[in-house]
Amino acid sequence: MITYPVGQEPDFWDPNPADARHRFALGRIGGSSPSKPPLIVIGMNPSRARESESDRTVNRVIRASEEIGGYDGWLMLNLYPERSPKPSALGGYDRGRSDANCAAIVQVLRQLGATEVLGAWGNMGGSATLRRALSDVRALLAGIGVHVFTMDPLTRQGNPRHPQPPGRPLPMLGPKAYLP
């Protein structure tokens, strides 16, 4: 079991109560404000992290929120809400599930007054479900005026890198580059 760093345990999750099959959002946003927001990250899909247990990706996001500075907390969102440690094992794309995920993203971004998010979905493990969900989320973000940035070079396929790729974690120290 991977634990959260002390003082970084989540205080927000959706759905609440938690659901073992899907997750829309997970983070520590308690003291956040528009002037000092949490580091908001959009990853591929939720893996093992939940309100009582972290995973390597979420702990890397937490560490980045502390290292970068200027952020009060952290928040993980995803392209698609189905839980799976392997993107290739996701079920088929479900329009209703993707729509519910997009609605949750809009709600939390508006609640926090967010104007930008860190893209962190990598090449999506070849998942057709994630590729379709990416299209939904990118259209949603463009429609509400939220910009996606990265702090590391894009992959050869033009995607923002996953924060915890195989091998060593990304530096995630900038400079910020916005995706078109």
Count of structural domains within the chain: 1
* Residue 78 within a domain: yes
Using a cut of 0.75, tell me whether the model's pTM lies above it: yes
Domain assignment of residue 109, yes or no: yes
Counts for the chain of helices (H) and strands (E), in that order: 3, 7
Residue 24 lies in a domain: yes
**119 in any annotated domain:** yes
Per-residue pLDDT tens for 46-63?
Answer: 999 999 999 999 999 999
Residue 48 lies in a domain: yes
CB-facing half-sphere around the CA of 45: CA atoms within 13 A: 29
24-52: average pLDDT = 91
Domain-embedded: residue 6: no
Burial of 101 (0-12, 13-18, 19+ CB in 10 A): buried
The string of pLDDT tens digits covering residues 146-160 is 999 999 999 999 999
Q: Is residue 2 part of a domain?
A: no
- Write out pLDDT tens, residues 99-158: 999 999 999 999 999 999 999 999 998 899 999 999 999 999 999 999 999 999 999 999
CA distance 102 to 75: 15
